[in-house]
């Protein structure tokens, strides 16, 4: 039987199908453009190749085109019985993911990788801050993420994808030196990985190396296509660093060209979270409020995420509604929150609403108690820092510079460069 890049046997006799599948897996792992095309090519080369069908369905889901995942998922399930035990288990994992069974999928991945530890495609959904552990809603999920990944070093060695994910888990826990070694090794092995570039960007962020981070991502993004999976989010990092270094015109150009609804290409989850996160940080950096942009983002959130369920996205949705002054759209999130960290959403909604109207004391009272466990929301520390900056900005307005600076310093004890973002007046 033919094998994939990790030595796993594949139920196809077509070399062309195998090669296209391997390209698709690498593309998905790297966040490069054309992942779905590669898997579609694998299907075209061998219509009976079940793993190509389920992988195509997964690619469609990640690209925010879940409605296109139904047919390849159904075909994979039809073909599964004729595949190997590993492939049957692999397909079952993604069937759970595609049908919203997160807890069951994670349990299945843990069981699956005991027998087939080098099935990287099956392991991948349990990794990263947007993965099944990342969105589990648990306290301690960052430690859980690293603890799950570390034992696989014996199986993956210097594999660039594994080193990328291990580095991210380490960086999120403040283990910067180990994270740097791993992400540099990963990028040296596969320099075109958008996920690798993204995670290297997080290390720059956590160390407060704004100019270096901006220069790195500006250079790396020069030949990264707009339809790449990470184009929107990596552009968000560039926009923030442009704000932080006083390049305001460049920051707004990036927002308008690569983040803004209707202009950007990106999975809906990135557009709906990165846009409000940029707009609020721009205000905190001293830019005037742009009501029309907040209304635009709120309308986008209504289009894609009007119902609560994924707490990290809900955090940004209620921010958009609060800043747009849309109390009616906030009601479902305050009255009937859902999701793994749904209990955190109503106080965020109230806090953002208070902040929007200038009630700094109420904003602090609602949001500051959430900071001790905000990892439950999922996403990266760089993204969740937004909550800390709201509290810092409110303290700055209400009580002055000293209290705000003390608050930020206490929140980031492992970062010698206090803060990581300039608040106007701080």
Res 420: pLDDT: 55
Tell the residue number behind the tokens 């692999």, with chain if given.
Answer: 90
pLDDT tens, 213-248? 999 999 999 999 999 999 999 999 999 999 999 999
Domain range list for the chain? 1-106, 267-411
Q: Is the pLDDT of residue 424 over 80?
A: no
- Greatest Cα pair distance in the chain: 70
CATH of range 1-106; options 2.40.10, 3.40.50, 1.10.3470, 1.25.40 = 1.25.40
pLDDT tens, 252-298? 999 999 999 998 778 999 999 999 999 999 999 999 999 999 999 99
Looking at residue 261, the DSSP 8-state letter turns out to be T
The number of beta carbons lying within 10 Å of the beta carbon of residue 293 is 22
Q: How far apart are CA 51 and CA 22, in angstroms?
A: 11
The answer to whether 144 and 378 are in contact (CB under 8 A) is no
pLDDT tens, 373-388? 999 999 999 999 999 9
pLDDT tens, 38-69? 999 999 999 999 999 999 999 999 999 999 99
The answer to whether 185 and 158 are in contact (CB under 8 A) is yes
Q: What is the pTM of this model?
A: 0.94
Tell me the H-state helices in 50-117. Answer: 50-62, 70-79, 85-98, 102-115
pLDDT tens, 132-151? 999 999 999 999 999 999 99
Segment among 142-146, 321-325, 393-397 with least mean pLDDT? 393-397
- pLDDT band (50, 70, 90) for residue 417: very low
Res 265: pLDDT: 79
């Amino acid at each position: 039987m033919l094998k994939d890049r990790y030595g796993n046997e594949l139920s196809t006799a077509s070399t062309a199908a195998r090669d296209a599948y391997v390209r698709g897996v690498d593309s998905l792992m790297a966040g490069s453009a054309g992942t779905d095309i590669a898997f579609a090519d694998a299907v075209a080369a061998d219509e009976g190749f079940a793993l190509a069908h389920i992988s195509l369905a997964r690619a469609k889901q990640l690209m925010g085109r879940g409605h296109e995942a139904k047919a390849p998922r159904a075909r994979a399930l039809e073909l599964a019985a004729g595949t190997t035990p590993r492939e049957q288990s692999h397909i079952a994992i993604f069937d759970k993911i595609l049908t919203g069974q997160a807890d069951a999928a994670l349990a299945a991945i843990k069981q699956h990788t005991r027998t087939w530890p080098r099935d990287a495609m099956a392991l991948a959904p349990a990794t990263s801050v947007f993965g099944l552990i990342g969105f589990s809603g648990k306290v301690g999920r960052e430690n859980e993420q690293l603890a799950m990944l570390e034992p696989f070093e014996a199986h993956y060695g210097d594999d660039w994808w594994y080193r990328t994910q291990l580095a991210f888990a380490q960086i999120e826990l403040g283990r910067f030196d180990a994270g740097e070694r791993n992400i540099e090794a990963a990028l040296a092995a596969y320099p075109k990985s958008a996920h690798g570039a993204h995670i290297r960007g997080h290390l720059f962020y956590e160390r407060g190396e704004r100019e270096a981070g901006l220069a790195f991502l500006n250079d790396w993004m020069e030949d990264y296509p707009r339809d790449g999976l990470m184009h929107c989010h990596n552009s968000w990092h560039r926009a923030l660093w442009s704000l932080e270094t006083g390049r305001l015109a460049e920051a707004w150009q990036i927002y308008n060209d690569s983040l803004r609804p209707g202009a950007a290409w990106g999975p809906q989850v990135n557009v709906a979270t990165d846009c409000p996160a940029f707009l609020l940080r721009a205000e905190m950096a001293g830019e005037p409020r742009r009501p029309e942009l907040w209304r635009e983002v709120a309308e986008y959130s209504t289009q894609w995420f009007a119902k609560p369920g994924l707490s990290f996205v809900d955090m940004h949705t209620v921010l958009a509604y609060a800043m747009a002054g849309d109390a009616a759209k906030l009601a479902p999130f305050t009255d009937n929150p859902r999701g793994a960290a749904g209990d955190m959403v109503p106080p965020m909604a109230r806090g953002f609403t208070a902040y929007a109207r200038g009630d700094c004391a109420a904003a602090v009272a609602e949001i500051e108690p959430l900071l001790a466990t905000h990892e439950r929301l999922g996403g990266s520390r760089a993204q969740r820092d937004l909550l800390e900056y709201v509290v810092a900005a409110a303290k700055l307005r209400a009580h002055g510079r000293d209290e705000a600076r003390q608050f930020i310093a206490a929140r980031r004890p492992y970062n010698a460069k206090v803060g990581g973002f300039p608040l106007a007046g701080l």
